[in-house]
Structure 1
């Protein structure tokens, strides 16, 4: 009867021959002596696990291998002819001379080459540094657990790594503590270079100074984790079939856990909380929701956008933050201002008042100048006060053909200055009025949280979240007011985000929640309706860090902390945002600033026109006194 590993190997050969598309194929060459000498070498298990892991990294398509068994030396030439068409080679033989011969023949081709040595073989002098995994240093158990990890590292570096993007490259290189497959294998033993080279017996994993990556691999390898999660786009997304049953999980948070799963070879299941909440403290001191599952040891990790708050931090541990989030207010879209009195909008009331005062007193000043300049010996009629009013008003509203008295320099100068100032006033008025008519001002219902209690809107808040605790536990300020409103008709708690969206669309409610979550809903609503029916208040609040909760003193926390930081530093967080954050979020839901649209002009905007009037009046007054003096002298 064939050994069990050969049966599995034959099945693998059939499966991989059926593969039609692959980017990289490498050869696995082994001899019959391996089965007799190392019956538990598990070559096919390592290859299967390593290829599967490499295919999940970021290779352009996939990787596969082709097996070649050596029964006698006469088969080597035919095997090597086929190997030249492949992209890499892994050699696992008992006899050193066979491996040395293959290495020497393939040396000029410079193909990636890995030797799995089950017996001590001296290095050959060919000027090339060959990757070797010295499995004879390890016992059967250690060889099995570290073999797949070391071979996967070699595949990543020699086949996949040159073809992945920069972000994935950084993560792969930082994922472990070593830079080569042989170093990865040595790190598994916890031995330094001197002890590794001199050891003559199989070693075990008894060293307390193992690298973290090795410890985590042994902690998680083959383990089954329990995750608790709630759907919360874009962080957690449930994929459902036509019957509404959940068949898969994806989203920003699951990208993190899936990246760790591919590296550390664990499985997981998702436990949904019965009350569909994140968790809050109950009157008896216990916690409900997902945090309650963690405290009862029914879940190992809370996978979702958990806000790190003081009360939660006292009962569970949190990983490092993977995202910073702010809360915002979703409100009905802003409306246009009433255009009934739009003709008064171009100027503020101070400008209108100033113009009214000028229209009243300027004709009197002109008339006084004419009266002062009357020559007793000349029979000239002094213009009346009514005519001065007609002149001032006619110039202001742009009526041409206004006649002005032709004697006296000071009144003529004052009249000319008024004409110039009136041009400035009229041009500014017409320009701003056109802007108001073509681009009306959009006025949001509220701009910030403090305005919500005094508006006509009611409010809704998701149940069992940090926002509920924020408002209900507040003891002063607007937070307390919002929290107290949850117990009367002004506010209410909701279990579904869709419920809150529908209430906002109806125009009667404001929905308070995390901004990224609301952006996803706005994008979905825009896709369905084709119009923007929702918007955000201008000011955001309650900025918190999002992290994964774990039981106190969980052994998984150091792993999550380090790997999450590596992923964020590599830019994977921004890459996943591009995938899961809605692309149409910029079309709707933008925060409306308190002042949008044309601006009404104030005194500071028209100070130039008023300065012309002031300087002109001063000059006219000086000229008036001069003319009056000359008249008296005559």
Structure 2
């Protein structure tokens, strides 16, 4: 932490907003082929770009080959230079310039240098701990801001030394009409209380990087990170690109102008703006896309606008993918959401054989066989006992016994057996018929009044293997990226094979995907919450379930906020997101904006008990019509028989 005199001096070092010309800070980057060095150089560049908007100065980027020298890159017009050199002592070539120089050495070298403006980053981070890489990303912006503020206020020592090497030359004047201390007094304070940037970096690196991320633990790191980020964002206007995506982002639009906004992420953004005291502007993506890499290596959509530094942040439930992380930075995930499949709702088809549903085919065959066997046995028992007194029935015939036995199955039998053997057999047959009739009646009522409709598919695996329904998903999305680059023989790879064979099936917006389900009876793969919203809205408009969900959560995606590569806000925003999740704020926002449960959501839709309609008994009516037709034919045959052979027929 800074001492009290240094804090007073920092307060005196105001930003020269009233300067006649905007001051320029140079950034000298030593050309390198080392990836680690390039990453740090990009972080320095992004941090200075952010500070330039807040502190009102310009930056001039200088790419130089070793050894660094002001003779190769003129420093006229600069108020200071930040050097990111890969070699130890790479800043020596700029030691003779008459402007302040802050040297960031990026290789392992002796960190015992007495120079307070020479910071050997790698050596410092390596000697503090193995996790210091992330801490360097937090501490370096803090030191850069402190140095830039002093340079712009004209109180920072220049890099030029006297022959003795001890006394610095007076700093170059920087005009300012907003500071409340005279320039000469501020210079004397600066010389009396110089800032050792190397020591400030050491102090920052020794802070615990995880204390502020654990509730109930120490808050020193969290407070330091908040202070540093608030200094960067204080009064800053953050440019944001975003898309309407319920329930995370609700937008009120007039053309392409955002009039109002709400949702889970808007609540998150407002909380961040309140904590770090910044404002923001919102715009829609120029091409309306989320962002995917094109054939020429460029990016479209919101990811592309952030990648090209056209905006500072992209807000929306953007999936974190490997390809995107190579181009931009994500915060920690603020939510995990599964993918699901929306399909047309199952329709109730007219079933003319509904009266056959209660029993399976085997049961029907068993009933008919039992009827014939019992009828034949009763007939032979009657014939065998014909010699007994009072048992002869002259009207008894095989047909009559079979009809009487069948009448028991439909509760229409009035025949009384004559002998004890026939009565026992008939009694057990009647008991069997009562059980069969009761079972049939109850099952028939249940199957007609309460129906379960089977969906077209019940899982992604079934849909891909059977191809009984065409499926689609959004182009230029993380979903397309996953399916497209998966192994061809894997489940996800097979999802993309259909679209390789048949081009033109992909959709380019969510509404287009919903229309494909309703109008073309496609299956549409999308985030579950978005599909639930679509089904609920459709139910509210039409009053019936025209779409349903398969409820096969085959993949969960991570959502993060998009920031520029090397953004100095990433660590602070990630810390706040973790804090919001742990304290339950994210859950509270989700409960507020998440869609309510719908009766249409589910793999199989259960219909409530209802009154029977004409279609429910259509098969029974057809059965009656068939009986009437058969009886009419028999009547015609009998009539013809009586007229031609009356004695044979009766």
Contact 1:328/1:540 (8 A) holds in 2 = yes
1:251 aligns with 2:263: yes
Q: Give the whole-Å Cα distance in 2 for the aligned partners of 1:525 and 1:407.
A: 69
Q: Give the whole-Å Cα distance in 2 for the aligned partners of 1:549 and 1:215.
A: 19
The residue that corresponds to 1:500 in the other structure is: 513
Q: Cα 1:425–1:272, aligned 2, differ >3 Å: closer, same or farther? A: same
Q: Deviation at 1:335? A: 0.7
Q: Deviation at 1:550? A: 3.9
Q: Deviation at 1:347? A: 1.7
Contact 2:258/2:283 (8 A) holds in 1 = no
Q: Deviation at 1:498? A: 1.8
**1:99-248 equivalences in 2 (<5 Å):** 206=200, 207-208=203-204, 209=207, 211-221=221-231, 222=234, 223-241=236-254, 245-248=257-260
Q: Deviation at 1:527? A: 4.2
Q: Deviation at 1:477? A: 4.8
Q: Give the whole-Å Cα distance in 2 for the aligned partners of 1:597 and 1:349.
A: 28
Q: Cα 1:400–1:211, aligned 2, differ >3 Å: closer, same or farther? A: same
Q: Deviation at 1:516? A: 0.9
Contact 2:256/2:284 (8 A) holds in 1 = no
Report the TM-score when normalising by structure 1.
Answer: 0.55
Q: Secondary structure at the match of 2:420?
A: coil
Contact 2:346/2:456 (8 A) holds in 1 = yes
The residue that corresponds to 2:370 in the other structure is: 358
Q: Deviation at 1:259? A: 0.7
Q: Give the whole-Å Cα distance in 2 for the aligned partners of 1:362 and 1:324.
A: 66
| Partner residue of 2:586 out of 573, 595, 609 | 573
Contact 2:529/2:595 (8 A) holds in 1 = no
The residue that corresponds to 2:278 in the other structure is: 266
Q: Deviation at 1:591? A: 1.6
Q: Deviation at 1:299? A: 4.2
Q: Give the whole-Å Cα distance in 2 for the aligned partners of 1:489 and 1:564.
A: 42
| Partner residue of 2:474 out of 462, 470, 494 | 462
Report the TM-score when normalising by structure 2.
Answer: 0.54
| Partner residue of 1:420 out of 431, 452, 473 | 431
**1:79-94 equivalences in 2 (<5 Å):** none
The residue that corresponds to 1:406 in the other structure is: 419
1:435 aligns with 2:446: yes
Contact 1:330/1:535 (8 A) holds in 2 = yes
Alignment RMSD (CA, Å): 3.8
Q: Cα 1:249–1:379, aligned 2, differ >3 Å: closer, same or farther? A: closer
Q: Secondary structure at the match of 1:416?
A: helix
Q: Cα 1:571–1:357, aligned 2, differ >3 Å: closer, same or farther? A: farther
Q: Deviations over 1:504-526 (max 9, x none)?
A: 22243332211211222333334
1:281 aligns with 2:297: no
Contact 1:276/1:495 (8 A) holds in 2 = no
Q: Give the whole-Å Cα distance in 1 for the aligned partners of 2:586 and 2:253.
A: 25
The residue that corresponds to 1:329 in the other structure is: 341
Q: Give the whole-Å Cα distance in 2 for the aligned partners of 1:494 and 1:508.
A: 14
Contact 1:229/1:302 (8 A) holds in 2 = yes
Q: Give the whole-Å Cα distance in 1 for the aligned partners of 2:591 and 2:468.
A: 37
Q: Secondary structure at the match of 1:278?
A: coil
Contact 2:331/2:562 (8 A) holds in 1 = yes
Q: Deviation at 1:496? A: 2.1
Q: Cα 1:370–1:303, aligned 2, differ >3 Å: closer, same or farther? A: same
| Partner residue of 2:498 out of 485, 495, 504 | 485
1:522 aligns with 2:535: yes
Q: Give the whole-Å Cα distance in 2 for the aligned partners of 1:415 and 1:306.
A: 75
1:561 aligns with 2:571: no
Contact 1:261/1:267 (8 A) holds in 2 = yes
**1:52-67 equivalences in 2 (<5 Å):** none
Q: Give the whole-Å Cα distance in 1 for the aligned partners of 2:283 and 2:257.
A: 14
Q: Give the whole-Å Cα distance in 2 for the aligned partners of 1:344 and 1:428.
A: 13
